[in-house]
């Protein structure tokens, strides 16, 4: 955004999200890449994120999530309020996002899956990194209902990443792990062990003053697919590990995968509240309103390349006020 456009953008934003607004846009990121990745076109690279952060710093008032959630409830949000969140605990959050947060003076919450810290690889990344390394030619994926697939070019690999991710996401965790390990063996290569943060990086984010570390379970299960006791352990053990790592209480939580009723239920929202968290976020798409359950705040993923498109999206989101909730 050129300098002269910034006051105009701020004027539009503050007209749409005035002081005392009952609307809170919460942004959801996962990774940020050094360079664009043709296998993950929806993942922003560092230039795209800088563009979005510059727009946020110029036209919005980015707040810490638990404070914004409380202000939303009380009808005390400042004009142009917004929040930034990252899910899972990727190392690039430390290496690439933190310098941007510092540069633009933006606070964020990073939800960390503690079981994958220090060298782990989440199933979705196992799929991406394995498909990247598979030799060209035919591959039999009938075990997960995808039949015989041909790998020829980048487009066929990208399509395979999407189809495989969808096909294995809801498999029983043991089966999913076995399938992914076998796929990886078939590629004949090793998975990267530096995608997620280590303990030291989590601590340094927390100590930076710009990042709150939020809960995201130990092993990223679909909570609705495991029993209540297991779900409670996933939430509490993750909370305790974060507190041990950072020396600070974890205040906010994000449900893995996050779709209301499909991935978590009202029972999990209750467990999260009883565990002492102050608020929680889902992946239901929308802008949070004062009518929202503070333990099921909706979010959305910004995919815009330019600051102007990004601001336009933020404006449009003000009309998405009826996201789904688990009841
Ligand atoms: Zn996640």
pLDDT tens digits, one per residue of 267-309: 999 999 999 999 999 999 999 999 899 999 999 999 888 888 9
Record the tokens describing residue 144, joined without a space.
């997960």
Distance 168 CA to ligand 1 centre (A): 15
Distance 257 CA to ligand 1 centre (A): 5
Q: Give CA–CA dist 72/43, Å, rounded.
A: 29
Distance 76 CA to ligand 1 centre (A): 30
Q: What is the CA radius of gyration of the chain?
A: 20
Distance 258 CA to ligand 1 centre (A): 8
Record the tokens describing residue 59, joined without a space.
């036209």
Distance 138 CA to ligand 1 centre (A): 31
Residue partners of 25: CB distance under 8 A and separation at least 6: 17, 81, 82, 83, 287, 288, 300, 314, 317, 318
Distance 68 CA to ligand 1 centre (A): 22
Distance 256 CA to ligand 1 centre (A): 5
pLDDT tens digits, one per residue of 76-98: 999 999 999 999 999 999 999 99
- Amino acid 1: pLDDT: 52
pLDDT tens digits, one per residue of 172-227: 888 888 888 888 888 888 888 999 999 999 999 999 999 999 999 999 999 999 99
C-alpha 140: how far from its chain's center? 31
pLDDT tens digits, one per residue of 3-22: 557 778 888 888 888 887 88
pTM here is: 0.94
């Amino acid at each position: 955004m050129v300098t002269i456009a910034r006051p105009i953008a701020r004027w539009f934003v503050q007209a749409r999200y005035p002081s005392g607004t009952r609307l809170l846009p919460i942004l959801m990121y996962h990774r940020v890449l050094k360079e664009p990745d043709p296998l993950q076109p929806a993942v922003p690279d560092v230039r795209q994120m800088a563009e979005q952060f510059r727009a946020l710093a110029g036209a919005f008032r980015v707040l810490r999530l638990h404070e914004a959630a409380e202000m939303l409830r009380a009808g005390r949000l400042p004009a142009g309020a917004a929040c930034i969140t990252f899910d899972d605990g990727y190392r690039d959050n430390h290496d690439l996002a933190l310098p941007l947060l510092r540069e633009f003076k933006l606070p964020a919450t990073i939800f960390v899956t503690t079981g994958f810290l220090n060298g782990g690889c989440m199933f979705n990344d196992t799929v991406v990194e394995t498909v990247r390394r598979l030799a060209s030619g035919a591959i039999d994926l009938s075990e997960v209902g995808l039949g015989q697939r041909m790998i020829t070019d980048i487009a066929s690999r990208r399509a395979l990443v999407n189809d495989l991710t969808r096909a294995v996401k809801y498999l029983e965790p043991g089966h999913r792990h076995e399938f992914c390990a076998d796929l990886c063996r078939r590629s004949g290569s090793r998975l990267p062990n530096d995608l997620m943060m280590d303990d030291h990086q989590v601590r340094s984010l927390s100590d930076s003053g710009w990042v709150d570390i939020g809960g995201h379970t130990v092993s990223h299960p679909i909570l609705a697919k495991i029993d209540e006791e297991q779900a409670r352990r996933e939430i509490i053990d993750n909370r305790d590990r974060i507190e041990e790592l950072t020396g600070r209480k974890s205040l906010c939580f994000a449900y893995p995968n996050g779709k209301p009723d499909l991935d978590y239920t009202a029972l999990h929202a209750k467990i999260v509240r009883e565990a002492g968290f102050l608020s929680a976020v889902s992946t239901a798409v929308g802008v949070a309103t004062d009518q929202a359950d503070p333990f099921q705040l909706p979010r959305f993923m910004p995919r815009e390349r330019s600051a102007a498109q990004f601001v336009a999206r933020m404006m449009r989101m003000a009309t998405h006020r009826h996201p789904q909730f688990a009841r």
